[in-house]
Amino acid sequence: MAEPGESQENMPTADEPLLRTVDLTRHFRLGGMFSKHVLHAVDDFNIAIHEREIVALVGESGSGKSTVAWLLARVYPPTRGEIYYRGRQLRKLRSRKDLLAYRGEVAMVFQDPFSAFNPVFRVSHGVMRNLVLHRPELGREERRREAERVFDSVGLSPKMLTRFPYEMSGGERQRVGFAQALAVRPKLILADEPVSMLDVSIRAGVLNMMAGLRDQEGVSILYITHDIASARYVADRVIVLYGGHLVEAGPTETVLRDPKHPYTQLLLSAVADPREKVESISADTGEPPKVINPTEGCRFRWRCPYAIEKCSQVTPRPSPIGSVQVACHVAVAEAEDVSTRTGTASVTK
Amino acid sequence: MAEPLLEVSDLSVAYLTEAADVRAVDQVSFTVDRGEFLGIVGESGCGKSTLLFGVGQLLSPPGEVVGGSVIFRGSDMVRLTGDELRNMRWRDYSVVMQSAMNALNPMKSIGAQFKDTLQAHGSMSSAEIRERSAEVLKLVGIDPTHLASYPHQLSGGMRQRAMIAMALLLTPQLVMMDEPTSALDVVAQRSLMSKIKELQQRLGFAVLFVTHDMSVVSRYSDRVLVMYAGQIAEAAATEEIFEHPLHPYTRGLMSAFPSLRGPRRELLGIPGSPPDLARPPAGCRFHPRCPEVMPVCLSHEPELYPVGGAEVRCLLYAEQAKEAV
Amino acid sequence: MATDAASNTAITEPAAVTDAEVRAEPRRFTRAVLHNRKAMVGAVILLIMVFVAVFPGLIAPYDPQATVGPPNASPSSAHLLGTTQLGQDVLSQLIWGTRLTLWVTVVVSVIATFISMIIGVTAAYIGGLTDRVLTVITDVFLILPVLPLLILLSAYLTPGVSSLIIVLTITSWAFQARQLRSQGLSVRNRDFLVAARVRGERPLYIILVEIVPTMTSLLAASFLALAVFEVGFAASLQFLGLGNSGELMWGTMLYNAQQAAALESGNPWWALAPGLAVAVMGAGFALVNYAFDEIGNPALRPVRRGKRRGRASA
């Protein structure tokens, strides 16, 4: 299986990922046309998503995870870099027909179940519009049946099609969000924090539903979240973002069992499990990363207990350590330096 | 045994609207001892925030206390006048809200707001005010130079800390917090919680902590109240609740957390959704969603039954309670 | 624009109430009007006006243009508001004038609201250069000095209702455009609009089908606010002589009365009655607007005083 961040040329066609990005970058100019302040939301981001897999994009606020989703959904264009969908460059898609075709294969689910629906319309509105726009071959009766089918596949009764959003609970609305996405028969669903705003007891149902979509409908999901525990539950692979940079990526169990990047370690130690007793004290107060006019170098260095001089001079790029990609000078150096490790404080366990 | 600091008895809070009377809090009773950290946990709509507002006399129409009493330092707060309450606020008890941006004045510097609070409650000289303000900021881990900063100039985590500092200005005996960490990221949350616990142990105030996230209180609280549909479902020492949850709802909540360590098991969650408090179900309010429901649960409303050191509102334990008497 | 994903609070029900309000607006509006005394009074006034406008013949005692009594007569049992300089019944003129007055007010308000909505929402939604251009245009129209413009236009336009409508619309559409643009900006990044974009909807569709229907209460409130203003403005313009005194409206009555020096030497009611009528109609629109304030701000809604137990005055 091709790993995230693998070189853009020489992609093996047999294993062509569904979607991959090359140095995806997005900057925002803050404060007017002539301002000098540039927010680096995402920088040089490389990802590959394959069929039938759930990839978790984990990060906190300011990490750029939502920006990645909006870039992939083509809400706005990247500042630099390329997105390839099934081998075709998205930038080259100009005609309405091509764009619509892309939107018919890559759909998005939003975080806030309360603002994701137009309160004026019934919940069937989004599903119907999606069917009209992306599956024009269907007649009226067929559309109605499709709407019922997608509602069923997310665990909602077809009777709910006539309800208004305010008549449904948060968990039900999120399922409608997925139903809307499914209506176009997508290959990939971009789920932007789909369970963050739901009660804990409801999340399980939605997470299970997502896993079911991958297994039964063959849909890939980019699961964006700040909750690494839920990422463990549904995702096949995990990508950790910090300050717009990819810091660690790899198979879920590997990354979570043996995190190599100091930020991943910090994140894992901060997540509390109600059943856990171990208290790990950290002096880190959770200050957000500096992403406005950032300088060269690792963006985590100010909070990193292992930072060396190189960290403030050279921006670390993701490098492979085993089956995982890690963007950390210290971790990479240590992994290379196995034979001469002297037992002083080390990043890797 | 020392008298409890706060004693809430049969407190009921309702929202009186033209559409319907909604009883958001239904006859809730609990006590808080000096220096105790009490966690009030529940999901959306359970009434935990309303309970906090009811206890702190912070309700505004159409919300009203419609029954019960809140005895704090010898007086029933429900019956106090506005002036008496104003005297007590910040001095004897203070409140930290969910979003600092809602509670802090964006037009004034932090120092100015601290000064306002201190001046409203007695006479301190300017020098004393400045000294106290710097002191509380240091307590929460903020550099005192930030007294000159405006709220929007601070990060989210720092703003919440500033709110907590403000709550400690007059060293109250009770600090009530409504989801103070919800808007923060995981690392900032953890940091803020340890700071709160550290301060609590150092200064000795009691904490009433409302949250929807059980894991946040699991490490820091002495006791936990689990609320459901306006009532207390279970009340017990923290360790007890997490190791031996008794109420099916509490058990359901525990099993809804995906674990980071240990084997991956299937998450179950709790099917259905909380009841409409304008028309609560007959009998036990949790019965439509309960995996251990019995026929009697549909018609009989359970009381809070004592089981060991805990209290559970569940008919499964009714017999046990009777036998124990 | 990146979404702020920090908040992971489980949402409580109040957010859903807002959506319910938007959806059930017509019903809620009716209820709000019925429960709000001010709005009820306003609604009654307007309904009466509409009735009078539609069936003037049923109520007016005389033909408004006919000479039916002595000139400049004071109010009497035969002529409740007296007569004009030509012996016409003032009351009948007032009644028959309601129709055109109401018509002009409503038409101008509707068209101006529509234009300002299109411009405001488009500016908000498309943003960028389009927004800047439209905002500049709006500002230009806002600061247009009305009177000089009118005098200029009156040289080219024949005095009358049509010209009045044109002039009023041109000079008043800009008032609400700013407000509607603000509203447009506030909904612009709501997820359901982004969702519409992501599924491939065209911008025009999004503006007309997804945005505008969510703004119905604001549009209605804009319409009403504008109407209050237009009644007075139309009458003022006619009073200044920019109307056609042959068309029977309250404003033209004022003009004619002033020309005949009714206040000083004739029947003062000839001037006072239309003035009062304008004020009453304006008040009617303004009062109904109170019901919208209530919908928009739940804190203003009447609270049922329920059973209070053990609550001292606080």
The predicted structure's pLDDT at residue A252: 94
Listed residue (A211, A204, A202, A213) closest to A179, CA to CA: A213
- Between A144-153, B116-125, C102-111, the lowest mean confidence (pLDDT) is in B116-125
The predicted structure's pLDDT at residue B223: 94
B194 at the A interface (CB within 8 A)? yes
* Nearest neighbour of A273 by CB, restricted to B185, B261, B267: B261
By the 10 Å C-beta count (0-12 exposed, 13-18 middle, 19+ buried), B91 is classed as middle
Interface touch B214/A202, C-beta < 8 Å:
no
In a domain, C87, yes or no: no
In a domain, C55, yes or no: yes
B182 at the C interface (CB within 8 A)? yes
One-letter amino acid for residue C81 of the chain: L
Preceding amide of B62 cis, omega within 30: yes
The predicted structure's pLDDT at residue A188: 96
Listed residue (A228, A303, A236, A174) closest to B215, CA to CA: A228
DSSP state of B286: T
Mean pLDDT, residues B262-279 taken together: 82
In a domain, B281, yes or no: yes
The alpha-carbon radius of gyration of chain B (Å, integer) is 21
In angstroms, the separation between the Cα of residue A332 and the nearest Cα of chain C is: 31
Tell me the C-alpha to C-alpha distance, in Å, between residue B86 and each of B91, B126, C227.
Answer: 9, 22, 46
**Side-chain half-sphere exposure of B121, counting CA atoms within 13 A:** 22
Interface touch A118/C210, C-beta < 8 Å:
yes
- Between A117-121, A338-342, C31-35, C114-118, the lowest mean confidence (pLDDT) is in A338-342
* Nearest neighbour of C11 by CB, restricted to B44, B64, B67: B44
Q: Tell me how far apart the alpha carbons of residues A162 and A165 are, in angstroms, rounded to a whole number.
A: 10
Strands (E), chain A: 19-29, 38-45, 48-49, 54-58, 80-85, 88-89, 106-109, 188-192, 220-225, 237-242, 245-251, 319-321, 324-326
List beta partners, residue B234: B226, B312
Interface touch A129/C196, C-beta < 8 Å:
yes
The predicted structure's pLDDT at residue C23: 56
In a domain, B14, yes or no: yes
Question: Would the pTM count as exceeding 0.90?
Answer: no
Which of the pair, B100 or C157, is modelled with greater confidence? C157
- Do the Cβ atoms of C116 and C135 come closer than 8 Å? no
- Total Cβ atoms within 10 A of residue B243: 12
In angstroms, the separation between the Cα of residue A130 and the nearest Cα of chain C is: 6
Residue C13: phi and psi, rounded to 5, are -60, -30
Helix (H, G, I), strand (E, B) or coil at A320: strand
C306 at the B interface (CB within 8 A)? yes
In a domain, C85, yes or no: no
In a domain, B122, yes or no: no
- Total Cβ atoms within 10 A of residue B28: 26
Pairing between strand A106-109 and A188-192?
parallel
Q: Among C198, C211, C215, which would you mutate to test the A interface (most chain A Cβ atoms within 10 Å of its Cβ)? A: C198
User: What tokens does A67 get?
Assistant: 């920006």
Q: Among A174, A201, A282, which would you mutate to test the B interface (most chain B Cβ atoms within 10 Å of its Cβ)? A: A201
Interface touch C195/A170, C-beta < 8 Å:
no
One-letter amino acid for residue B95 of the chain: V
C293 at the A interface (CB within 8 A)? no
Element (H, E) at B13: strand B6-16
Range of the structural domain that residue B253 is part of: 6-92+172-258+268-324
Range of the structural domain that residue C188 is part of: 24-60+95-300
B257 at the A interface (CB within 8 A)? yes
Angle (nearest 5°) at CA B53 between B48 and B59: 130
Three-state secondary structure along A117-139? CCCCCCCHHHHHHHHHHHCCCCC
Interface touch A272/B184, C-beta < 8 Å:
no
Using an 8 Å CB-CB cutoff, list chain A residues near C214. 118-120
- Domain at B86, CATH number: 3.40.50.300
- Do the Cβ atoms of B213 and B44 come closer than 8 Å? no
- Do the Cβ atoms of A245 and A44 come closer than 8 Å? yes
Taking CA–CA distances from B267, the nearest residue in chain A reads A204
* Nearest neighbour of B185 by CB, restricted to A207, A230, A286: A286
Using an 8 Å CB-CB cutoff, list chain B residues near A270. 186-187, 189-190
Q: Tell me how far apart the alpha carbons of residues C244 and A199 are, in angstroms, rounded to a whole number.
A: 67
Domain count, chain B: 1
**Side-chain half-sphere exposure of C157, counting CA atoms within 13 A:** 19
- Total Cβ atoms within 10 A of residue B324: 11
The predicted structure's pLDDT at residue A347: 57
Q: Name chain C's partners: 3 or more CB pairs within 8 A.
A: A, B
The predicted structure's pLDDT at residue B12: 93
Percent of chain B with pLDDT over 70: 98
- In chain B the first and final C-alpha atoms are separated, in Å, by 22
Residue A35: phi and psi, rounded to 5, are -70, 155
- Between A5-9, A209-213, C8-12, C216-220, the lowest mean confidence (pLDDT) is in C8-12
List beta partners, residue A221: A54, A189
Instruction: Please give the mean pLDDT across all residues of chain B.
Output: 88
Domain count, chain C: 1
The predicted structure's pLDDT at residue C3: 29
B141 at the A interface (CB within 8 A)? yes
Q: Name chain A's partners: 3 or more CB pairs within 8 A.
A: B, C
Q: What is the ipTM of this complex?
A: 0.83
- Do the Cβ atoms of A115 and C191 come closer than 8 Å? yes
The predicted structure's pLDDT at residue C51: 93
What is the fold, at CATH topology level, of the domain defined by A14-105+186-289? Rossmann fold (3.40.50)
DSSP state of C213: G
- Domain at C197, CATH number: 1.10.3720.10
Q: Would you place residue A15 in the very low, low, confident or very high pLDDT band (cuts 50, 70, 90)?
A: low
Interface touch B260/A229, C-beta < 8 Å:
yes
The predicted structure's pLDDT at residue A190: 96
Listed residue (B200, A116, A47, B18) closest to C199, CA to CA: A116
Residue whose pair of structure tokens reads 């036990």 in the numeric block = B284
- Do the Cβ atoms of C95 and C53 come closer than 8 Å? no
B181 at the C interface (CB within 8 A)? no
In angstroms, the separation between the Cα of residue A186 and the nearest Cα of chain B is: 26
Angle (nearest 5°) at CA C307 between C304 and C310: 130
Interface touch C306/B44, C-beta < 8 Å:
no
By the 10 Å C-beta count (0-12 exposed, 13-18 middle, 19+ buried), A162 is classed as exposed
In a domain, C18, yes or no: no
In a domain, B152, yes or no: no
Interface touch A226/C213, C-beta < 8 Å:
no
The predicted structure's pLDDT at residue B276: 83
Three-state secondary structure along B102-167? HHCCCCCCHHHHHHHHHHHCCCCCHHHHHHHHHHHHHHCCCCHHHHHCCHHHCCHHHHHHHHHHHH
In a domain, C14, yes or no: no
Q: Tell me how far apart the alpha carbons of residues C247 and C258 are, in angstroms, rounded to a whole number.
A: 16
Mean pLDDT, residues B293-307 taken together: 91
Q: Tell me how far apart the alpha carbons of residues B130 and B134 are, in angstroms, rounded to a whole number.
A: 6
Which of the pair, A340 or B232, is modelled with greater confidence? B232
- Between A278-292, B189-203, C85-99, C224-238, the lowest mean confidence (pLDDT) is in A278-292
Which of the pair, A168 or A34, is modelled with greater confidence? A168
Which residues of chain C are under the pLDDT cut of 70?
Answer: 1-33, 154, 294-314
* Nearest neighbour of C312 by CB, restricted to B18, B79, B156: B79
In a domain, B197, yes or no: yes
Q: Tell me how far apart the alpha carbons of residues C213 and A121 are, in angstroms, rounded to a whole number.
A: 9
pLDDT digits 0-9 by tens, A157-167: 899 999 998 88
List beta partners, residue A109: A191
User: What tokens does C63 get?
Assistant: 């033909």
